[in-house]
Amino acid sequence: MANALARLAEIAPAPGEPLRKDWGEVERRLGVGLPADYKELIEVYGGSNWDDYLYVLEPSCPNKQYDLLAWAEHQAEDLEDLWGFEKKPAELEVAGTQVVLWATTDNGECLYWLLRPGVEPDRWTVMVNEARGDRWEHFPVSCTRFLASALDGELQSGILSSSFPLAAHEFRRLRAV
């Protein structure tokens, strides 16, 4: 798949006017740069729900439940607590490696970028963590490619719901509640 965003546009046409974000401010608040494909995904689709299951988080999302910045505040601390009684996945054992959340699901599974020392944001890959357990999966693709490949059935996860994706795709931009 040459362009994952183009594949997403085939699955769900862009919902309207592009969103503008102050990415410099977002990255400053997060403490890391972000992949270009994620920025483009957010500018086209915004915080979004795919097939009534997977939620892509947006910085300063109108629906505060899916605000990337709010989730980031708590995720690093929550994971450090988790490592106190669960074994870290092998991908996270290298010093300086971390994960940053970019999506979640109705069931509570979390989708992260895997940040490795010396690896630029555009080369980050995806980690999926089951909701109530210690299973993790690693996918050597970008977040947008992961989303497009999961929706078109090219990518299979043993953690995500077996009812995802739907046969007839559903998309909605997240709005204020």
* Tens-place pLDDT, residues 18-51: 899 999 999 999 999 999 999 999 999 999 999 9
Kindly report, residue by residue over 51-82, the tens digit of the pLDDT: 999 999 999 999 999 999 999 888 777 777 77
Give me the residue spans of the domains in the chain: 4-173
Whether residue 108 contacts residue 11, with contact meaning beta carbons closer than 8 Å, is answered with no
The pTM of the full predicted model, rounded to 2 decimals, is 0.94
Assigned CATH class of 4-173: alpha beta
d(CA 129, CA 175): 26
Query: How many residues belong to the chain?
Result: 177
- What would the pLDDT profile of 115-156 be if each residue is shown by its tens digit? 999 999 999 999 999 988 889 999 999 999 999 999 999 999
User: Buried (b) or exposed (e) across 4-27, using 16+ Cβ within 10 A?
Assistant: bbebbeeebeeeeeebebebeebe
